[in-house]
Structure 1
């Protein structure tokens, strides 16, 4: 294998290839939706006028079918919502955050929230800007560590 073969193979693998899939024919879709209506209009013009009534009735039937389809979709969505399991993790973590195990972290977080709230309410405050992100993460870590064993027992 020579250097030219190497480069031609490399270019063949890296280069863009043409897509070989065929797109669906647009003419078939047009005939299903709009093509039939044109044929009906031509027949109604040539006929005695009865075709216009049939054409109007066809539109109403299409609207009824759409309404029935929407109702069926709404029923399917309701069934999907009922079948979805409830995630027990947030409830377990909330219980753990209130437990004695995480009480010190909750106490520090609550104190921090009070300080930050007072800082924002006081227009003359010129001290350092503070947030409670660190305290929040400590509390969440404690709640997650507390809830994890309970969660895995509940999922078995």
Structure 2
């Protein structure tokens, strides 16, 4: 008896809802002239206000100084890893990997100049050189970092 009631209730629930047909958008009250809220376009009123000078915020003299200080702080920060890795690429430890990479670059450049395309690339040599430089730089890097 419980299963019959369940199926009957389920049938009644599903059969009482109308079909899910798409409805037309509501008419009236909306304007197609104004952009959607997520766009960067301006309405005609907003553009007029900006031309008239309305809606603009007052000039904040401290704002320029804050931006200059932020730019200076960003310019001062440099990644020490890059400098240490460049130094490591020039060491005796990474000399064989750098030599192979440089030879490959010369070979590929020559192929491009003569044939217009290269038959190979230097990705493997680059990865070997980068791996060597990273292994050399890692212990030095952690001494520099705070």
Q: TM-score, normalised by structure 1?
A: 0.52
Change (3 A) 1:141 1:59: same
Q: Distance in 1 between matches of 2:67 and 2:95?
A: 41
1:96 aligns with 2:82: no
Q: Distance in 2 between matches of 1:124 and 1:76?
A: 51
* 1:132 aligned partner: 122
Q: TM-score, normalised by structure 2?
A: 0.55
Q: Distance in 1 between matches of 2:64 and 2:111?
A: 49
Which residue, 58, 64, 67 being the options, matches 1:74?
64
CA RMSD of aligned residues (A): 3.4
1:145 aligns with 2:145: no
How far is 1:59 from its partner?
4.4
Q: Distance in 1 between matches of 2:53 and 2:112?
A: 62
* 1:44 aligned partner: none
1:109 aligns with 2:101: yes
* 1:22 aligned partner: none
Runs of 5+ unmatched residues, structure 2: 1-5, 7-44, 46-51
Secondary structure class of the residue paired with 1:100: coil
1:122 aligns with 2:114: yes
Which has a greater percent of helix?
1
Secondary structure class of the residue paired with 1:122: helix
Runs of 5+ unmatched residues, structure 1: 5-33, 35-57
Q: Distance in 1 between matches of 2:144 and 2:100?
A: 30
Q: How many residues align?
A: 97
Q: Distance in 2 between matches of 1:143 and 1:94?
A: 7
